[in-house]
Amino acid sequence: MALISKNNIKNVERQVKKVHDEVDCTFTIVTDKNGEEILQLDTYGSNDRKIYKVSQTIQFNKETSEFLCSLFKPEENKLQYVEKSSSKFSQEDGKKVMRHIFKHIKSNGFMYTVNDLSNFYLSLKTKPFVILAGISGTGKSKLVKLFANAVGATSDNGQYNIISVKPDWNDSTELFGYKNINDEFVPGKLTEIIFRASKEENINKPYFICLDEMNLARVEYYLSEYLSIIESRELDVDNNIRTDRLFSAEYLQEGNKYANLRIPENIYIVGTVNMDDTTFAFSRKVLDRANTIEFSDVELDVLDFSNEECESINVDNNFFKTSFLNIKDALNSDDEFVRQTNSKIKDINEILEQGSKNFGYRVRDEIVFYMLENKINNLLSEDEAFDFQIMQKILPIITGSELLVKEILIKLFNYCNTNGKEITATIEYIKDCEVELKSGKIKYKKSAKKIFMMLRGYEDGFTSFWV
């Protein structure tokens, strides 16, 4: 006799050459010592046996029975049940979750490609701080909400929160908190969310925070402390990610409920940015710590939305939790792939060095982590993933009017176009770039297109990722 728990059922890909012959079976509902009903199945072996008796007995509780029934339901319903009851995901599960998120968002009247959603997910998994940039009205804030809702994080359950940045923010008090005239600590909006997310019953749930229009004020003024603390992440003895304390022991003494508060591993901050002349530019401190995803392509003729309802799924935080905190972890995971990726990053950094635009270890590490997470989850092709990383980690730091900036951009364009004609700094270089873009042979298409736009901006005397 065997009691089968849902937690002990594993999916195994196996070729079955035949279906067994039918046998007699009886069922009985029994009750265990806790009063829970158990389904018992008794099979009696083949009919040609001389002695007709019970051959096998299997028991299932209600949860296991429902799970087994769900395996015969349509694919989307199966996914919904499995994800609600599972905290670990295989590579194929990752693809299923992305497709489900895509369908959920499309059913709500918004359109983002599966690749864009996969890139957003990989960016969050690489580092729980992402910037969405673009012109106003392209759905940046909506993406954060819809993506969060699709995986079970909503305003109602407190797992999705939006904080609107105000132009007069010149320190972190609105987010972290302050002491009033009576020396009483008044928590900020971010502190309250972090406190809720840190509770034992919530630590396995992802919490998404949208910092809406984050560059209406200087990000370095109000978010600098957070960006510094997030760099202190490390694994504790229980394999949980922990950071330094939000507040020093001198500022908040023991006994205050916020005294030992740290940034938990289930907090994900996404800042939205309007790329226009009414907002502040970002420093390297901010850009080096984030993937900057641009939303600039607007397709007004896309009106093919689904009328089919697509329910959200509850996804455990393990699906989003960062896998790598230092380059040694990545090397231990896949040494050959990490070194191969590092070689490509080194080639790009050598181009940037000519104009003192080169980057340090942090940017290198996060590109490696992103590429390795993508390989593990098998969401994008290697070229697509590296294209996103050039676009999101390299190009945002390039700005200026010097001749060296032009030379850097041309060399980066050629790096993206290894299979095409090499562009030189002649009078026709803009036209030559345009011809290459139309050829369809470019290896890293998104980045090459953005570089072309930056080169056109340079013709007016100044260029930047943000124009």
Question: Angle CA(451)–CA(392)–CA(283) in degrees, nearest 5?
Answer: 95
Structural domains in the chain (count) = 3
User: What is the percentage of the chain residues whose pLDDT exceeds 90?
Assistant: 58
Pair 90, 60 in one domain: no
Pair 17, 87 in one domain: no
Per-residue pLDDT at 86 exceeds 50:
no
The predicted pLDDT at position 85 comes to 37
Pair 13, 144 in one domain: no
Type of residue numbered 109 = G
Question: The tokens 């004020």 sit on which residue?
Answer: 217
Pair 280, 353 in one domain: no
Pair 173, 232 in one domain: yes
Of the residues 305, 322, 339, the one at which a domain ends: 322
Per-residue b/e over 261-281, b at no fewer than 16 CB within 10 Å? Answer: bbbbbbbbbbbbbbbeeebee
Pair 85, 182 in one domain: yes
Rounded to an integer, the average pLDDT of 301-329 is 81
Least confident of 86-100, 152-166, 280-294: 86-100
Tell me the pLDDT tens digit for each residue of 403-429. 899 999 999 999 999 888 889 888 889
Pair 93, 44 in one domain: no
Pair 171, 304 in one domain: yes
Tell me the pLDDT tens digit for each residue of 219-234. 999 999 999 999 999 9
Q: Do 153 and 207 touch, CB atoms closer than 8 A?
A: yes
Least confident of 158-172, 359-373, 450-464: 450-464
The predicted pLDDT at position 96 comes to 87
Average pLDDT, the chain: 86
Question: The tokens 């700005």 sit on which residue?
Answer: 399
Sorting pLDDT into bands at 50, 70 and 90, what band is 75? very low
Pair 58, 90 in one domain: no
The predicted pLDDT at position 420 comes to 83
Of the residues 72, 93, 113, the one at which a domain ends: 72
The predicted pLDDT at position 52 comes to 55
Rounded to an integer, the average pLDDT of 388-414 is 94
The predicted pLDDT at position 89 comes to 52
Least confident of 67-71, 238-242, 253-257, 446-450: 67-71
Q: Do 161 and 144 touch, CB atoms closer than 8 A?
A: no
Rounded to an integer, the average pLDDT of 165-183 is 95
Please list the residues that pair with 451 across neighbouring strands.
none
Pair 123, 255 in one domain: yes
The predicted pLDDT at position 76 comes to 45
Tell me the pLDDT tens digit for each residue of 26-41. 777 776 655 577 788 8
Of the residues 262, 294, 322, the one at which a domain ends: 322
The predicted pLDDT at position 83 comes to 42
Please list the residues that pair with 267 across neighbouring strands.
207
Sorting pLDDT into bands at 50, 70 and 90, what band is 307? low
Pair 293, 416 in one domain: no
Sorting pLDDT into bands at 50, 70 and 90, what band is 145? very high
Tell me the pLDDT tens digit for each residue of 112-130. 889 999 999 999 999 999 9
Q: Put residue 418 in one of left, alpha, beta given phi > 0 → left and psi -120 to 50 → alpha.
A: alpha
- Write out the residue range of the structural domain in which residue 62 sits: 2-72
Pair 266, 400 in one domain: no
